[in-house]
Structures are given as C-alpha cells and as structure tokens.
Amino acid sequence: MKWGLLGKKKRINQIHLENIDARVIIGTPKINWPENWAWKDSVISDNAVDPVVRELVYRTIHRVVSKVIIENNEGMILMAKASRGFFTGCWTLPGGFVDYGEHPRQAAIREAKEELNIDIEIADPLGESGENKEGDNGVLIQQNIFTNEGINWLSFTYRTKINLSMDKIKPKKGEIEEVRWFSRENALRNSVSLFDKEAILSLKE
C-alpha cells in the first residue's frame, strides 16, 4: 500500500517473529472504514490473518498498570524492591497489572495487600469504583511507548496516607525483596520507572 493512502503517520514499530523482521508504520488511513474488516478482537485469533498483522494488533492493546504512593505523616514514601519481573532488584512504588474487569483504584488496593500485606484506602470522591469516599486520591494517569516494539503502557498512580511501622509490613516472598520508607528526594533518586518518577514529581504538599 502506498503511504499516501495511510494519511498521517503516528509511529514505526519493529516486529520480530521467528525468521521475520518487520518494520510496521502506524497511521490513520485516508479511506472510509470497510464494512467487511474484522474488529481488533477478532483479528488476534484469526489464523487467516497474516502473523505479522496479528502480532501488531496484539502489541497495540494497552498494558494497564496501577500504582500507589503510600505516605506517612512525615511525608515519607513507601517503596518496594522487586525480586522478579521488569524491575528485578530495583525500587518501585507498590503496584502491578490491573486484572480483567477490575478498576485501577481497586487494583492498587489489591496490589498493596498482595505485595506488602497491608490494607489501604484510596479516596474516591466521584464514586468511580462503586462507593463515594471523600478525599483527594491524587490520581495521575500516564501513557507511554518505551521501545520500538510498540508496547503501549497506561499507568494509573494513586495517593494515600497511612502510618505503619516496618514490623506491620510483610513483603510477599518471591516477589518483594525489601521494603523501605524514603524521603521524597530519595524516592525520586532511587526509582527507576519513569511513571513512578513522574508520579513522585507531581506530589503537592
């Protein structure tokens, strides 16, 4: 297809499948939507569709993660050192992937329980997840594509306050190596996730 038909170019993704290396241009077509085109959800599992196309569709589905900034009364931020996954050996805010059918706020609460065995509450002034809870949830929504593979990340970071001594925090074995309270400055310095950094930078007193 000539580029003129694709209209505005958005980005270029690199795809490697077995012995196939493909350079895929993402753009908006200058044509009306054909009625016989399959929807994205159907393309992924359709064996009649070229593997490169299926892989491209798969990669353009959002990966949604939810995090939470947990602060104590002194303004210290709770961070966890991961022992597996993308950030093994690195300090990150508590959080992880949002489950199917789960609101990002509930995902942040669940991840804090699973990773650290602590119960937190996050304000929900609009009742987005079912029940109004007064307060400021400090939510920051971010989106980014970090590599030329084109994986699109969508991140929700919430904020809550709780005073906890270290003996009340029980890191999940095999997943969290260590947990520690950091000053905002040190939390920013030690964090490796760009989403985490932006969330910490967005904090207001």
- Mind listing the domains of the chain with CATH numbers? 3-59 (no CATH), 63-201 (3.90.79.10)
Q: What is the pLDDT of residue 41?
A: 66
pLDDT, residue 90, reads 94
Give pLDDT, residue 112. Answer: 96
DSSP 99-141: PTT--HHHHHHHHHHHHH-------BTT-TTSS-B-S----EE
Cβ-Cβ contacts under 8 Å for 44 (sequence gap 6 or more): 54, 57, 58
pLDDT at 5: 57
Q: Is 184 left (phi over 0), alpha (psi -120 to 50) or beta?
A: alpha
**Per-residue confidence (pLDDT) for residue 158, from 0 to 100:** 97
Q: What share of the chain is helix, strand, coil (3-state, %, to 5)?
A: 25, 30, 45
What is the structure's pLDDT at 205? Answer: 60
Cα dihedral 153, 57, 39, 97 sign:
negative
Partners of 92 in beta bridges: 80
Per-residue model confidence as pLDDT tens for the chain (205 residues): 444 555 667 778 887 777 878 787 777 667 666 666 666 667 777 778 878 778 777 778 889 999 999 999 999 999 999 998 878 999 999 999 999 889 999 999 999 999 999 999 999 988 887 788 888 888 999 999 988 888 889 999 999 999 988 889 999 998 999 999 999 999 999 999 999 999 999 987 6
**How many CA within 13 A on the CB side of residue 179?**
22
Q: What is the pLDDT of residue 39?
A: 64
The pLDDT assigned to 1 comes to 44
